[in-house]
Amino acid sequence: MTNSLSPRAQEMAARFKELYGSSPEIIVRAPGRVNLIGEHTDYNDGFVFPAAIDRDVMIAASPRKDRQVRVFALNFNQSSTFTLDGVQPATDTRERWSNYLRSMAWVFHEEGLGTAGMNVALLGDVPLGAGLSSSAAMLVASGLSFEASSELNIDPVRMALLAQRAEREFVGVNVGIMDMYISALGQKDHALLIDTRALTYEAVPLPKSGISIVIADTNKKRGLVDSEYNTRRAECERAVELLKASLPDITALRDVSAEQFNALSGSLPEITAKRARHVITEDARTLESVAALKAGNIVRFGELMNGSHESLQRDYEVSCRELDTLVQIARSIDGVYGARMTGAGFGGCTVSVVAEGAVERFLAEVPALYRKATGLNSPIYVTTAAQGAERLA
Ligand code: ADP
Ligand code: MG
């Protein structure tokens, strides 16, 4: 089996054998993601346009005869053990990372899917807490390992829904569907235009040459993110409730056109109107950006990315000084088509679409300029769109 595996999967198999004494029967991987455009729309039934990135969480596992799950996190040199009967969150804070695996065991049980005990080793190279969704990679990889060990056959959209329920109800973060959906369904060399209401997608090829997707990390830890995220969700729901007075058929901001909103926004409280305007214009920008990409118009795609950032900064107010600074610096580099914050905001990463010939300049100049402005380092990842989650062995 091991010969056809990638070097990383072979290393994974070897590390598993060191830990548990025999080769793993199962190896799976699930990637992180970068969202090109369509931010804070996935919990408003709207459109998003992410790609899976070439960084992932890999899990090696073998079924056990009992109901125990033993898991070793190679990144942290830390182990954790739990039983499948009445799965609980980790009590020791040093084992909090195991909650993603635990949450998938929990949700499989909740939804009547069988689970088997396992020995597990996991290793990831998605940067943690940087807004590239290492958490979704953990959830989806965990789900795939339970699917394999229990000989189930789970549709990837259902896997994404299971992962979303796990993060919401067990981990306790009220997330949308985008991160787990793209991790489960991503396609090599494509970004997916996902309709988060219908849970369908269109795979859109990214140009084979000429541009690169460049991620830059602000290195600002995302402190406020959970509470502000919940506030934004509540403000969007409030906007829908108020707009229903004139538009009784709407159930989400997705249903409100720009024309309808412009006619009605004056009747909303100022903050509510700003939040709704972001979501409604972002849906329109996302659809237009995909049309521009399909037409080969990268310049327009970049303009719409820039527009997305401005809207997140001014109307949705989820940016921060570090994100704004890094976006401005990226745009100052000759050959950058567009740059925006990506992910929930308040820190995390920016994404830029960069002419291939300008990538070296970006790498040489952006970190130095950012350090000068903020005193912070900025790790940069030049990425390509990767395949979504898969079983490798
Ligand atoms: P993000 O999804 O933006 O990376 P989150 O805070 O949602 O940030 O998820 C990060 C958490 O996911 C980490 O704190 C850790 O608990 C878990 N995690 C991610 N990757 C790994 C890994 N390779 N090994 C163990 N835990 C991981
Ligand atoms: Mg996350």
pLDDT confidence of 3, banded at 50, 70, 90? low
- Confidence (pLDDT) at 192: 98
- Confidence (pLDDT) at 221: 80
Question: What value does the mean pLDDT of the chain take?
Answer: 96
Instruction: Dump pLDDT digits (tens) for 47-73.
Output: 999 999 999 999 999 999 999 999 999
Q: How much is the average pLDDT of 72-95?
A: 96
Give start and end residues of each alpha helix (H) in the chain.
7-20, 99-110, 134-149, 156-165, 178-185, 225-243, 258-264, 270-294, 298-314, 321-331, 359-374
User: Is the distance from CB of 380 to CB of 212 less than 8 angstroms?
Assistant: no
Query: What is the best residue among 59, 134, 220 to mutate for testing ligand 1's pocket, by most ligand atoms within 8 Å of CB?
Result: 134
User: Is the distance from CB of 261 to CB of 268 less than 8 angstroms?
Assistant: no
345-378: buried (b, 16+ CB within 10 Å) or exposed (e) per residue?
bbbbbbbbbbbeebbeebeebbbebbeeebeeeb
Ligand 2 center from residue 98 Cα (angstroms): 14
pLDDT confidence of 113, banded at 50, 70, 90? very high
- Measured distance CA(156)–CA(380) in Å, rounded: 30
- Confidence (pLDDT) at 286: 98
Q: How many percent of the chain have pLDDT more than 70?
A: 99
Rg (CA), the chain: 21
pLDDT reading at 1 higher than 60: no
Q: Which of 213-222, 315-324, 347-356 has the lowest mean pLDDT?
A: 213-222
Q: Is the distance from the beta carbon of residue 368 to the nearest atom of ligand 1 less than 6 Å?
A: no
Q: Is 179 a catalytic residue?
A: yes
- Confidence (pLDDT) at 224: 67
- Measured distance CA(12)–CA(148) in Å, rounded: 17
Q: Which class in CATH covers the domain with range 7-205+387-391? A: alpha beta
Ligand 1 center from residue 134 Cα (angstroms): 5
Q: Closest residue (by CA) to atom 26 of ligand 1?
A: 97
Structural domain spans, the chain: 7-205+387-391
pLDDT reading at 174 higher than 60: yes
Query: What is the best residue among 95, 102, 138 to mutate for testing ligand 1's pocket, by most ligand atoms within 8 Å of CB?
Result: 138
Q: Closest residue (by CA) to atom 27 of ligand 1?
A: 97
- For residue 57, the ligand 1 atom closest to its alpha carbon is 23
Q: Closest residue (by CA) to atom 23 of ligand 1?
A: 124
pLDDT reading at 226 higher than 90: no
- Measured distance CA(327)–CA(9) in Å, rounded: 35
Instruction: Dump pLDDT digits (tens) for 191-211.
Output: 999 999 999 999 999 999 999
Q: Is the distance from the beta carbon of residue 122 to the nearest atom of ligand 1 less than 6 Å?
A: yes
Instruction: Dump pLDDT digits (tens) for 25-44.
Output: 999 999 999 999 999 999 99
Of 39, 32, 38, whose CA–CA distance to 290 is shortest?
A: 38
Q: How much is the average pLDDT of 147-154?
A: 96
- Measured distance CA(56)–CA(5) in Å, rounded: 16
